[in-house]
Structure 1
């Protein structure tokens, strides 16, 4: 069994939303607390950093170039340099209490963005979607921390997780990508990791970063654990597939809220790891806008 290895010498505060660009062989991710999106081109080792005025919880690449970014107060379109071009919508939550968190695109190129309810006093977060007409629709509420967005290879299921509530959901999808009622798919006992960001492979299996769990795991379509891979850090945040054959798993991790002593003990916290796997992943579509 392969072990995760470092991508390169980098440690962020809260790296999230790893996103692979097959056209340029570049991995992008956001460092939420630093208000940045990073890019690392594997072939050349070239690095790029895009700066934003607010935390970018999640983002996607646009077909037209640039990004769609979910910042604390709203969702914006940017150019290829990260410059804000057009505001899509305000944050449907109260931005003082809930910032955007996990998100991505479905196979139709629609952008999904979930929020994290900061006070943690009730399930006040939500999941919304932006379509090609730049219309925003709230899809789910009753969430504490939106995470784990992924779509099955057969386009029949949408998966999400609520990390603080230790649960993964899935919702059925029709032929037009409309979701039905979400169902509890898997729950996790306290103390053994919580389901954070995720990705799907071509065999219909769900890969989850287990926050506070020191590992990532691959689950069958029935929710059974098929493989687990240990990490040298406590808190992985998300995974995505990439590489030339889509058989490289990229893993983001965090050092948020860690003590100086823990960071000294686990200095790779906040690093990005790679893992060669035997099965290819489902590629993320770029955000598609109407002509």
Structure 2
């Protein structure tokens, strides 16, 4: 059995940790706590951590091509300036329901942001996948679901993977040059009892890593959808991983305490922490958002 050297690297005890992203120019791992409305920065070289308060629920932050940051708040996309903690509105999906929030995001090789929305009450199928590019937001055209998740992109093949969490299914489609999507096809359906697919990311070999909410870890699938690896983590609700470090060979995983009662928290005291492990493969660098 492979020793992945799983460890807690930042004991934040997040209510709903999400959106880890390695920003190479900053040599740091950024992530959020959606429910506590926090943006986190972790410097693994020195072990230093910083935290900012967001004005609303924040689903993710991504690097921008001009050196800044773009954040996905409940109310839409915003510029985020860590120097003064200010969030400045950029754009919002048209007809964005008041009860929805932004949930997860990724960039493609052209610097477009693909992000999902979801019903914050997790009951209505009002979540959609959107594309932000050229300063405007466009609907992807995919069918709405309750909880969109895990947009992950393999740049070399222009393949988008997107998740219907409650449907336990990850779908994929080709991204055309103009940003529209080709026909979607089912990639993977998670079997009953194994948890729900949450965030995902693609590694340098084109394999897809899927975090499992309620599944105590992450899975690695090859491009054909065959399960080829599993990493068990010390928390049941794993939300997403990101590849980081100078060689992109360290995997960082966010987790959540949301929905866990006192007995569950006693069983998994590390729930909500930021974990790291050795995946045995490199990741792909994140393309900054084109502004």
Question: Shared fold by TM > 0.5?
Answer: yes
Distance in 2 between residues matched to 1:214 and 1:42, nearest whole Å: 24
Residue pairs, 1:1-291, within 5 angstroms = 1=2, 2-81=4-83, 82-89=85-92, 92-95=95-98, 97-131=99-133, 133-139=134-140, 140-289=142-291
Q: 1:266 to 1:67 in 2, by over 3 A?
A: same
Q: 1:51 to 1:90 in 2, by over 3 A?
A: farther
Residues 119-158 of structure 1: CA deviation (Å, up to 9, x unaligned): 4444221011111x31100113322211121112423310
Contact 2:69 2:81 in 1 (8 A): yes
Report how many aligned residue pairs link the two structures: 287
Distance in 1 between residues matched to 2:130 and 2:168, nearest whole Å: 21
Residues 53-84 of structure 1: CA deviation (Å, up to 9, x unaligned): 10001221112233211111222112233312
Partner SS for 1:216: strand
Distance in 1 between residues matched to 2:14 and 2:94, nearest whole Å: 25
Distance in 2 between residues matched to 1:91 and 1:236, nearest whole Å: 31
For structure 2, the 5+ residue unaligned runs are none
For structure 1, the 5+ residue unaligned runs are none
Partner SS for 1:165: coil
Residues 181-215 of structure 1: CA deviation (Å, up to 9, x unaligned): 22211112222111110110111100010111111
Distance in 1 between residues matched to 2:102 and 2:279, nearest whole Å: 30
Distance in 1 between residues matched to 2:248 and 2:192, nearest whole Å: 33
Contact 2:93 2:130 in 1 (8 A): no
Distance in 1 between residues matched to 2:5 and 2:171, nearest whole Å: 28
Contact 1:77 1:88 in 2 (8 A): no
Cα offset, 1:104, TM superposition:
2.0
Distance in 2 between residues matched to 1:164 and 1:149, nearest whole Å: 15
TM-score, with normalisation over the residues of structure 2?
Answer: 0.93
Contact 1:148 1:196 in 2 (8 A): yes
Further displaced range: 3-12 or 252-261: 3-12
TM-score, with normalisation over the residues of structure 1?
Answer: 0.93
Q: 1:90 to 1:51 in 2, by over 3 A?
A: farther
Partner SS for 2:277: strand
Distance in 2 between residues matched to 1:209 and 1:117, nearest whole Å: 20
Partner SS for 2:220: strand
